[in-house]
Chains A and B, each alone.
Chain A
Amino acid sequence: MSGFRWLHDYLAALEGEHVVLREEADPHTLPPAHRLMVDGEDWGSAAKVSAAFGHRHAGVWGEHIGDWIIVRACLAFEGDYLVLETPVSPQRPVLPSHSPYYSGIDRLERHLQDMLGVAFLDHPDSRRWTRHQAWPEGSYPLRHESPASGTPPKRTPADSDYPFVEVLGSGVYQIPVGPVHAGIIEPGHFRFHAVGEDVLRLEQRLGYVHKGIEKIAEGRDPEGLARLAGRISGDTTVAHTWAACMAMERAYDVSVPPLALAIRAILAERERIANHLGDIGAICNDVGFAFAHMQCARLREQWQRGNQSVFGHRLLMDRIVPGGVFRTLTYQCAELLKTQNQDLSKELDSLLPILEDQPSLQDRLANTGVLAAEDARRLGVTGYVGKASGMDYDVRRDHAYAPYDRLTVESPCLSAGDVAARVQVRASEIRHSLGLLNCLMENLPKGPVQAEWTQPAKAIEGIGVVEGWRGEIVTYVRLGEDGRVQRFFARDPSWFSWPALEQLIHGNIVADFPVCNKSVNASYSGHDL
């Protein structure tokens, strides 16, 4: 962490752009992020300055508090996080858009538009995004006046008149896919425009699994929020729960015991390994290499069984709780985990070289689905999708949170940006995670696994940033005086990897969409909320 060495120059640049910083916000109330409050009319200029500085946009969300809608944007630079804030009047909810400077933020702004009714000026695309037909235009679920139960129609019709962008030209045809897909996959709609076999354009239509997570989080106690966060995306249950708990713990200044932090990291690395194993196999399967699919599925199953016997849950749901973890690690369990690490290492020593040296496999994966470094940077993609395209960022290393601040986190970074590179990044992340697990197991601290949960009776807020297996997760929580959640927003890395998929499929053949898609494996549920 650089400790905001750049902040002074940034503030000077804001002044140069005549951005007025409002005094009422204390910049240190959202640690470790730095908070700045700007006027609505300067919202776009602030983003312009950030873009010129090379900040990465890490998300935008809003909240209806009292008579105002507060919009917040999170920007990341050199391992520091900056939160910009501006009040918007619900009567005239208009803001300049950040999308002209950050194209990756497009859908989050449209989500905010659908959920809170904030209209963005200069936004390149003002079509609805999260809203289909469950609530009418002009009604906003996250406003005070909208109850969580809503007033849904007796039967919600399909969103059949969504205006897709059309590609015209001789020989151009459309392929509509979804929302119910052919495999055992989450639902969403893909609209391909193709000529012959080549994809000219892919347009995604998501929001099918929108479950109102942000709204139903309201009024929950910390335990209830942790449970909900663990179900934002079932494959990322550990990382999302951790991020939500971290935000609440920072808000209440609860310090989590060292042993609990170590167990959290063990859970998170095990989740990373399980998902990478499954996906590497599935990617190989999508190009017809069933051998790898079966071998990886076998290893994943063994790994999940280890989760069951040591932690009592195959996907590790609800193992992280506010203030710590659900239970301690017994000596026998620790030994079992160590054995599993050794076994998996040995297995990978024989399996991974087979994949790497298989010309017929590499021939299919190399140069397929290339995400240019420029696109990755423009969209602000993190995780393995970013790392395979030159985005050298890992929260565990660059914005190290406990217990990673005491560990050496290695993070691979490649430049090819193709499916092969994403597989390579995932394979080396598995290796590094195994190394971290060994290190954690060797130096397990002693002591309790639950901090005492003290809840001062005041409204408070916190931010949690965690490296999930897909990349950076940013979570914001605000709690009321009664200790109940008033606002919860979890930004899954998929918000940025979905648009990356639209980019990297260009020029590929339709039949390679599954392997490209699997190599990105963005979350539908984590995105739709």
Chain B
Amino acid sequence: MLRILNKIRRIGIVTETPPRDREIEALGKTVRRHIDRRFRGSLAIRQVDAGSCNGCELEIHALNNPYYDIERFGVHFVASPRHADALLVTGPVSRHMETALRRTWRATPAPKIVIAAGSCACDGGEFGVSYASCGAVENVIPVDVKIPGCPPAPADLLKGILSALRASTSTQGK
């Protein structure tokens, strides 16, 4: 036990502030304000793999590692679409996942922001449309924001989630 405590003490906190680029800093502040106002400080995301190769999932996992620790921005991943404010969908939508994705979307309460993460989710990527694949997520459910990349790096995912929030908040304001 002492060794564990010692290790924790020596490593300290490695969580980074987001990359120090002005755009993100500004976006971060605005978004934090939007989350506070609109989602009472917490945005719940349900991740749905609709046919991905698992590459995007690895990078979404990384958002929870101590370097990014996305929960400090008020963003957390939930187990049920019924608890979610937003869906983070990866993969080209395989035909075998089409109905599951629609049902997940229907189970999500408004505002159900949909974020398509990764090249496949944006435009079908390497898989496109075929007998087995519906291609882009927007071919199946309405999409609010797209995050390209194969796979998008954690920082890109973070930016995408933040801009989805901003977009949704401004839509609601109209």
Contacts and interface: CB of A to CB of B under 8 A. Distances in A.
Contact of A149 (B4, B14, B94, B131): B131
B96 A317 contact: no
Contacts of B53: 231-234, 237, 525
Contacts of A301: 62, 65-67
A3 B140 CA distance: 53
Interface string A455-479: 0000000000000000000000000
A2 interface: no
Nearest to B55: A234
10 contacts: A132-B95, A134-B96, A147-B131, A149-B129, A155-B102, A233-B53, A234-B52, A235-B54, A291-B7, A301-B66
A300 B153 contact: no
Interface residues on B, range: 35 or more
Contacts of B104: 180
Given A152-B95, A351-B7, A298 B67 contact: yes
Contacts of A210: 94-96, 132
B26 interface: no
A294 interface: yes
Contact of A187 (B100, B128, B132, B134): B100
Contacts of B11: 295, 298
Given A158-B99, A158-B100, A315-B55, A211 B79 contact: no
Contacts of B100: 158, 179-180, 187, 208
B126 interface: yes
Contacts of A158: 99-100, 103
Interface string A124-145: 0000000011110000010000
Interface of B: 3-4, 7-8, 11, 14, 47-62, 64-67, 77, 79-81, 91-92, 94-100, 102-104, 125-134, 150-151, 153
B52 to A, nearest CB: 7
B131 A212 contact: yes
Nearest to B107: A180
Determine the main DSSP class of A at the interface with B: loop
A113 B125 CA distance: 28
Contact of B131 (A152, A155, A235, A291): A152
Contacts, number: 171
Nearest to A353: B3
A301 B62 CA distance: 7
Contact of B51 (A133, A209, A227): A209
Contacts of B153: 308, 314
A324 interface: no
Interface in A332-368: 350-351, 353-354
A304 interface: yes
Nearest to B64: A297
B130 A156 contact: no
Nearest to B54: A234
Given A134-B96, A209-B49, A209-B52, 17 more contacts: A150-B130, A150-B132, A180-B104, A182-B79, A184-B60, A184-B61, A185-B49, A185-B57, A207-B96, A208-B51, A212-B127, A212-B130, A216-B128, A235-B54, A315-B59, A350-B3, A523-B54
B55 A354 contact: no
Given A211-B127, A234-B151, A298-B11, A183 B58 contact: no
B65 A298 contact: yes
Interface in A151-181: 151-152, 155-159, 179-180
A422 interface: no
Nearest to B100: A179
A215 interface: yes
Nearest to A294: B66
Nearest to A292: B4
Contact of A146 (B97, B127, B131): B131
Interface string A234-270: 1101000000000000000000000000000000000
Nearest to B57: A184
B14 A298 contact: yes
A151 to B, nearest CB: 8
A417 interface: no
Nearest to A237: B55
A70 interface: no
